[in-house]
A and B are shown apart, each in its own frame.
Chain A
């Protein structure tokens, strides 16, 4: 009789997790990706284990989408101190960053790897959630409150698919989940703590290139169902503006197409397949423009849209 092998990160004891992370590494399944992660950085083990505890483990010796390694380095420049170095498959794609930011460096680094490498998908720069079996895409440039709105919807019963990537396999109209910790920035952190006190946050990381960042742990359900894609039904271009009156306006498909195509990371890279995929998505969806300042109002509006529009 042998005990069953741990199948989720959280089934490893903190010591086991730490040992693997600092040893040869461990495999984590994140949506369609198998990520091999090795991290020898002081202070990173605990928040990583906490935020990723629901994620399935992938055993060593499999094929991985990428091999990521983070490690501590001592440097004199730009100023003396401890830095974290992010490497993917033995390459270092960007400069070392202060060691306290290691968690954010991992999250952003993984985004970078996905964006540069995974061109088998049309990649929208979009949050994606699901309700009543159908997907809502929230494509937006940084600074429009995409992550905040996404975390808020996830806290109110929507299933999180992703806060950053709308992944679609060309030839399909389904959005693939790639649930990840959601990085709230600056004022959004307090806003979200007030909006949904039950959400679990990672450590507060000041001084990153995007200011202060704290990651919201995705709810267990969204991680457990990360293999369940959802057909796109609503494409909403959100814009947060201080003091704005709530407005959700349907836009014509042509406008939806243009905005979605320009939002994608790799629309041009995919050539004809990119055009066809965006076209099919827009044809299968209703497209809207959303202006809001109040999170409660925006969430209520989108939820009532989903509940009234059976598709």
Chain B
């Protein structure tokens, strides 16, 4: 089906994996390969991570200027984004000051920042993701609106899609800033087949010392990263997410007592056995994550039937890596498309998926009336009347 590997894809995989596993070998590459590695890591949004690790090893200054400049630039960008994320968290805490009883659980990038996990170093932060109990969402949304956070103008379909079917509100941004804030009430869409209970996540969430925020408990944090990878939709950030998963597993295995003992029972309790199986499998296969044999064995209980697994192995291998900038492969595009469709397949029932994709196709190719904005007041009414 055209997902044949070709030479350039194999070169890409080799260079990217070497840069992730042994960053310090990168400067010694032949210059043409070094050049390609920098381009690939930038494309995968992992150049900052490479730069951070080289700086830690004291290897940044020794690089030729044209290399050091690119790495230094990536560090500046990732530090600026982290600063913006911290400031947004600070402002959100201020805005929600009188909702003291509402737990605010930071997730993804912000959680890594607050928890100080190693994958936060050199990471390219994007949005602020918060998990809030569903019952508290209207109050939180209202307060943020009052204090300057606005939703983007969305088509009525998109607004309704968010509110009725997904696990988050339409994204909001403060009028004076650019950081997008996503308020979640769950880690999977309402319509997904798997049903991780948010109450369990809140119960186990950990208070960040000296902060208004909590973060998910270590095992839950890893499971969320895994769910995000396999249910998130688009594959542009997939490699970075595998890297998050690998970093978090290594970090918590070393620092959190009983981490591996809790891992599989927790995955099962949260109804996340299938994604957890995939997450461990691909982190191990690609990045050599050390997973105890007992956990691997238990995780095979979450495996899909063999033909599906073979297909997934193939698709993940082809879709996960950045495209060669000069020689993009059709196979990789197809693999990405199939995984994109899969991520929707597992999170909504077939008729709804058909309707959703038809709408998206219509918007992309025939957009007219679909983009008429819905007034924000109406959008608020939808959530309050539900």
Contacts and interface: CB of A to CB of B under 8 A. Distances in A.
A248 interface: no
Contact of A268 (B39, B65, B69, B80): B80
Given A63-B64, A89-B42, A90-B326, A118 B35 contact: no
Contact of B328 (A64, A90, A266, A271): A90
A65 interface: yes
B207 interface: no
**By DSSP majority rule, is chain A's interface helix, strand, loop, or mixed?**
loop
B262 interface: no
A64 B325 CA distance: 13
A120 B67 contact: no
Interface string B54-80: 000000000011111110110011011
A89 B34 CA distance: 14
Interface in B184-234: none
Interface in A100-150: 117-120
Interface residues of A, number: 23
A62 B325 contact: no
B360 interface: no
A61 B43 contact: no
B171 to A, nearest CB: 22
Interface residues of B, number: 28
A58 to B, nearest CB: 9
Contact of A270 (B66, B76, B326): B76
B35 A63 contact: yes
Given A65-B70, A118-B73, A270-B76, A89 B39 contact: yes
Nearest to A60: B32
A62 B31 contact: yes
B31 A61 contact: yes
Contacts of B39: 67, 89-90
Contacts of A62: 31-32, 35, 66
Contacts of A204: none
Given A89-B325, A90-B328, A34 B66 contact: yes
Contacts of A65: 66, 69-70
B83 interface: yes
30 contacts: A32-B65, A33-B66, A60-B32, A62-B31, A62-B32, A62-B35, A62-B66, A63-B31, A63-B34, A63-B35, A63-B67, A64-B66, A65-B66, A65-B69, A67-B325, A89-B39, A89-B42, A90-B39, A90-B323, A90-B324, A91-B43, A117-B70, A119-B72, A119-B73, A119-B77, A120-B68, A269-B76, A269-B80, A271-B79, A271-B80
Top 4 nearest A-B pairs by Cβ distance?
A: A90-B325, A120-B72, A119-B76, A61-B32
Given A67-B326, A90-B328, 7 more contacts: A34-B66, A61-B30, A65-B69, A90-B43, A120-B72, A266-B76, A271-B79
